[in-house]
């Protein structure tokens, strides 16, 4: 039997790389904390918003160069809704550093039921999602969600998490470096699965839920009916036809989870809507 020893002898588990990683993790967390607007969640972000804007612009230009943009009344509606949402968000969240955003809204001719927002405020909506949004309130819910990702700096946070996972994997690799190859592969595979299903995917689902929360409040403040949000996800579920993968293995919460959470948030969203829009 191959025993794991505490020391650095042949076949043992070397603890010093793990200890150094844990110490660095503590320093890294304390040094790079930020707070998500509206929800107040403490997050890990290690790049400046200027860097985010540059990365988002570069990626956005590359994507747009490979697709066909719509240039009709539907595209005008996307831009109008986007600007209305941003104006509401600026009023609702005055502490956000809005100077670091350069908002762009485009409609992509593509049958995917999709939309995205890159860091810095680069938004694209695919025409394939329009039948599911069904109306301007539904479209505002989708776009509010995407705008919320940028405001909450989820892209930068995700990159910070990925860097930490890579560093942790390197430390683990050094720790098991004296084990036999078969044991090394087993341990590293277990660590990789743990990082994926225990860290990266749960954080991704949390980001989606947080974007649902922030986006719903922004849409309500912009005087779009928030009650359309759970209806939108009911239509999403119907369009998916039950093909959604297990939530545990997904980057997104299940449709039912999203609907339930949106319904829980509805009294708060309706209060905003009724206060400013009636």
Q: Is residue 181 part of a domain?
A: yes
Residue 120: CB atoms within 10 A of its CB come to 24
Query: What's the whole-model pTM score?
Result: 0.84
Whole-number Cα distances in Å, 126 to 28, 35, 74, 216, 233: 38, 31, 11, 20, 17
Q: Is residue 169 part of a domain?
A: yes
Q: Is residue 153 part of a domain?
A: yes
Structural domain total, the chain? 1
- Least reliable range by pLDDT among 178-182, 221-225, 247-251: 247-251
Q: Is residue 9 part of a domain?
A: no
Q: Is residue 209 part of a domain?
A: yes
pLDDT in tens, 194-240: 655 555 566 679 999 999 999 999 999 999 999 999 999 999 999 98
Q: Is residue 273 part of a domain?
A: yes
Q: Is residue 20 part of a domain?
A: yes
Residue-range definition of the domain harbouring residue 91: 16-34+44-277
Give burial (CB, 10 Å; 0-12/13-18/19+) of 212: buried
What are the backbone dihedrals phi and psi of residue 74, each rounded to the nearest 5 degrees, phi first? Answer: -65, -40
Whether the CB-CB separation of 206 and 258 falls below 8 Å is answered with: no
pLDDT in tens, 11-50: 567 777 778 777 877 877 788 899 999 999 999 999 999 9
- Least reliable range by pLDDT among 5-14, 95-104, 129-138, 160-169: 5-14
Q: Is residue 5 part of a domain?
A: no
């Amino acid at each position: 039997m191959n025993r794991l020893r505490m020391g650095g002898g042949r076949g043992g588990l070397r603890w010093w790389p793990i200890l150094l990683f844990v110490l660095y993790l503590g320093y890294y967390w304390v040094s790079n904390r930020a707070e998500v607007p509206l929800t107040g969640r403490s997050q890990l972000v290690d790049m400046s918003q200027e860097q985010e804007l540059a990365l988002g612009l570069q990626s956005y230009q590359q994507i747009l160069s490979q697709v066909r943009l719509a240039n009709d009344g539907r595209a005008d509606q996307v831009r109008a809704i986007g600007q209305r949402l941003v104006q509401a968000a600026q009023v609702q969240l005055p502490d956000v550093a809005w100077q670091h955003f350069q908002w762009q809204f485009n409609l992509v001719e593509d049958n995917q039921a999709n939309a995205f927002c890159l860091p810095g405020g680069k938004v694209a909506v695919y025409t394939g999602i329009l039948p599911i949004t069904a109306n301007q309130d539904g479209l505002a819910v989708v776009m509010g969600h995407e705008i919320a990702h940028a405001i909450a700096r989820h892209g930068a946070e995700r990159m910070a998490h990925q860097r930490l996972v890579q560093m942790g994997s390197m430390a683990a690799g050094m720790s098991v470096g004296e084990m036999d190859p078969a044991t090394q592969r087993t341990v590293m595979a277990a660590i990789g699965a743990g990082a994926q299903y225990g860290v990266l995917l749960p954080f991704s689902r949390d980001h989606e839920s947080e974007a649902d929360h922030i986006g719903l409040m922004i849409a309500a403040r912009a005087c779009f009916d928030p009650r359309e949000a759970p209806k939108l996800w009911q239509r999403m579920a119907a369009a998916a036809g039950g093909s959604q993968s297990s939530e545990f293995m997904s980057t997104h919460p299940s449709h039912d989870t999203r609907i339930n959470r949106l319904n829980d948030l509805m009294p708060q969203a309706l209060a905003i809507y009724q206060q400013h829009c009636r």
